[in-house]
A and B are shown apart, each in its own frame.
Chain A
Amino acid sequence: MTTVLDALNQALHAAFQADETVFLLGEDVLDPYGGAFKVTRGLSTAYPGRVLPAPISEAGITGIAAGMALRGLRPVVEIMFGDFITLIADQLVNHIAKFRWMYNDQVRVPLVIRTPMGGRRGYGPTHSQTLEKIYLGVPGLRVLAPSSIGDPGGLLSRAILEDDNPVLFIENKLLYLLPVQHPAGMEEFEATESKAELLGEGDSYAPTFTLALGGAPPAAITLVAYGYMAELARQAALRLAYEFEIFTELVIPTQLAPFEIEAVLASTRRSGRLLTIEEGTFSLGWGAEILARSVEALGSGLRAARRVAALEVPVPASGILELQALPSVEHIVQTAKKMV
């Protein structure tokens, strides 16, 4: 069994092996510790001098990595907790995302900023958030989020080695210990894979997976989820089918921004109903954008649309409160039941 943590760690090792311009900057990334979540374990031993242990200066190391990327290296930055991406806002928005376009396509910024995101570990309000929605819709910034379904290591590897543009790479912490599931090998589902075609860019390398229950009647609802929420949505899809005879399709994008809606529309055209599931807070978020675009594209062809998201409170430390604040399989099931 390969976990998502193993896959990401192996992808980093492979990227360091494949390209000597790959460097990693982060806090507490040296062995034997190997990073707070161990994604960088073994790197500093295998590639001394290419793992740069940084002081607690998220903005500084992000800016430094941007400078390295502008001058021909392919740096990877680890931000220890996703909550700390607020500290790199100016670097991301006013520098990194701007350079290529602002400098009239004369430069490239091959930079990956990875960060563990999300709750359910009792870390409380400042170490449990899902903040990527702050950075969705920033021109020039790609936001990727693997789930355990698909090829999370491959996604990271391509972001580091092949993408000449900056990438914010969101790793939900609960994914780390889940086994990687190859869509083709999933027992209950039939999977199709599509690549978003992006305006002026051609096809993205980040796939979208659409899972349909094998041998089931036509789907009545399209579920859309990414990251760890894709795993919860997968569990909810099975419960909805076996307990309530509500059949769904599950669309799992790995590229959140820029977002290409086509795979969602293709499924929703079949099901007529759309339910988005995200771990970020409810208002003005990812699900809202997907619903808005689906309404624009499908009009009255969209018979029902709902969102499941986190409650609009800081993430509580108490597990009892935290479970209620964040989306669960039960939330997804109950919301879906109201839609048919």
Chain B
Amino acid sequence: MSPVPDPLELYRQILRIRRFEETVLNKFSSGVFFGTTHTYLGQEANAVGVLSCARPDDIVVSNHRCHGHFLAYGGEPRALFAELMGRETGVCGGRGGSQHLHWRNFYSNGVQGGTVPLATGMALAEKLRGSGAAAIVFLGDGTLGEGIVYESLNIASLWRAPILFVVENNRIAQTTPSELAVAGAIATRFEAFGISCIELDSSDVLEILPAAGRLLDEIHAEPSPRALVLHTARFGPHSKGDDTRDSIDVERLRRTRDPLVIHGARLPEEQRKAIEAEVVEQITLAFRLALGDPAPDPQSLPGATTP
């Protein structure tokens, strides 16, 4: 059964991702983080809506844009900040960085497409072991260009894998608009393999959540794959400062598709403000604590020699 959503908690989760990602983008230029990042700004309702329906043993497989999924799964902001800062206390001890996270039943990898068979195999393993758990894999519109996605859909359907494929179509892959990269329709890709699909064009967590809940209920009731296609809006750049879209268009998305505003409008201002204060304090504290966390020991690498 789908959970009865607590509107305050949904708002808190969306806001936690928002403030986390804003902090990441704002602080990047100060040099505290290694590498690069792909923020989830604008897409928060997808992760929160879908993962609110995940059962405790369900598996979540994510991609390069994984911070929102990780936080919605229940991951600690401090451990994620520390991972981005390359600290020993990071989610993966600083070995993985922004795109390569593993905690409990959450896994992400930064290479497009290859996570889809992985999640399918995980789902099959749970079915073969009789655990009753399902897998949820997030992929973007850009990843639909990878051939291994279709190998996985074929096998997931043939072998009845208990898996939910969630496509977050933000209509742009790095800088390439989807009209240059995605032919035909997205939903029919799944339907061609006999995988039934719900398609939503929404940034409202209260629309996304019941759709995901229905599909996950079906998967848990009788192991087999389902798909959820979420047409969504990316507010930020692909990574940092690489947004080639017209700023007017992005501004319009921010005005009309903000999950925080859409869901926040349902809450009394007083409660919103209280949650805002709580989340800001939590994220600020997490960042500060991570900054003080220890660095990993370079001599711990196999074969390391003192320079």
Partner of B154, one of A23, A55, A99, A200: A55
Q: Does B10 contact A (CB under 8 A)?
A: no
Q: Is A102 an interface residue (CB 8 A)?
A: yes
Contacts A55-B155, A71-B122 known; A199 to B117 CB distance under 8 Å?
Answer: no
- B4-61: which have CB < 8 Å to A? 59
Residue count of chain B within 8 Å CB distance of chain A = 38
Bound complex: CA of A63 vs CA of B152, how far in Å? 9
Instruction: Give a binary string over A114-132; 1 marks a CB under 8 Å from any B CB, 0 the rest.
Output: 0000000000000000000
Residues of B60-105 whose CB lies within 8 A of A = 91-93, 95-96, 100, 102
A60 touches B154 (CB 8 A): yes
Q: With A67-B123, A102-B100, A104-B93 as given contacts, are A62 and B128 in contact (CB-CB < 8 Å)?
A: no
| Contact flag A63-B114 (CB < 8 Å), given A71-B59, A71-B125 | yes
Q: Which residues of A contact B92 (CB under 8 A)?
A: 102-104, 106
Instruction: Tell me if A52 and B159 are in contact (CB < 8 A).
Output: yes
Give chain B residues whose Cβ lies under 8 Å from the Cβ of A57. Answer: 151, 154-155
Chain A 48-70, CB-CB to B under 8 Å as 1, else 0, gives 00001011010111111111111
Mark the stretch among A90-98, A171-179, A273-281 that contacts chain B: A90-98
Interface of B is mostly: helix
Kindly supply a per-residue 1/0 record for chain B positions 121-162, scoring 1 wherever the CB is within 8 Å of any chain A CB and 0 otherwise. 111111011000001000000000001100110110011000
Determine whether the beta carbon of A106 is less than 8 Å from that of B125: no
* B107 interface contact, C-beta 8 A: yes
- If A73-B125, A94-B111, A95-B111 touch, does A67 touch B96 (CB 8 Å cutoff)? no
Question: For the complex, is B109 an interface residue (Cβ under 8 Å from A)?
Answer: yes
Classify chain A's interface size: 35 or more
A89 → B minimal CB distance (Å): 10
Known: A57-B151, A94-B109, A106-B92. A67 touches B117 (CB 8 A): yes
Considering the chains assembled together, what is the distance between the CA atoms of A102 and B109 in angstroms? 10
- Complex contact A70–B118 (CB within 8 A): yes
- The distance from the CB of A26 to the nearest CB of chain B, in whole angstroms, is 13
Whether B298 is near chain A, meaning CB under 8 Å from some CB there, is no
Asked if A67 and B120 make an inter-chain contact with CB atoms under 8 angstroms apart, the answer reads yes
Q: A23-B128, A199-B303, A200-B302 are in contact. Are A68 and B121 (CB under 8 A)?
A: yes
Cα of A64 to Cα of B161 in the assembled complex, Å? 11
B302 touches A60 (CB 8 A): no
Best-surrounded residue of A67, A91, A104 (most CB of chain B within 10 A)? A67
Name the contact of B116 in the complex, choosing from A55, A63, A99, A107 (C-beta under 8 A). Answer: A63
When the two chains form their complex, are residues A60 and B128 in contact, meaning their CB atoms are under 8 A apart?
no
Q: Tell me how far the C-beta of A299 lies from the nearest C-beta in chain B, rounded to whole angstroms.
A: 20
Residue A33 at the B interface, CB < 8 A?
Answer: no
**Residue pair B96, A68 in contact (C-beta under 8 Å):** no
Q: Is the CB of B148 within 8 A of A59?
A: yes
- A314 touches B (CB below 8 Å): no
| B155 contacts A60, C-beta separation under 8 Å | yes
In the bound assembly, the distance between CA atoms of A65 and B120 in angstroms comes to 9
A sample of 19 inter-chain contacts (CB < 8 A) reads A23-B128, A55-B155, A59-B151, A60-B148, A61-B155, A63-B114, A63-B120, A63-B152, A64-B117, A67-B120, A67-B122, A67-B125, A75-B121, A94-B109, A98-B109, A102-B95, A102-B96, A102-B102, A199-B302
Besides A69-B121, A95-B118, 8 other CB < 8 A contacts? Answer: A55-B155, A60-B152, A64-B118, A65-B121, A67-B119, A70-B122, A71-B122, A98-B109
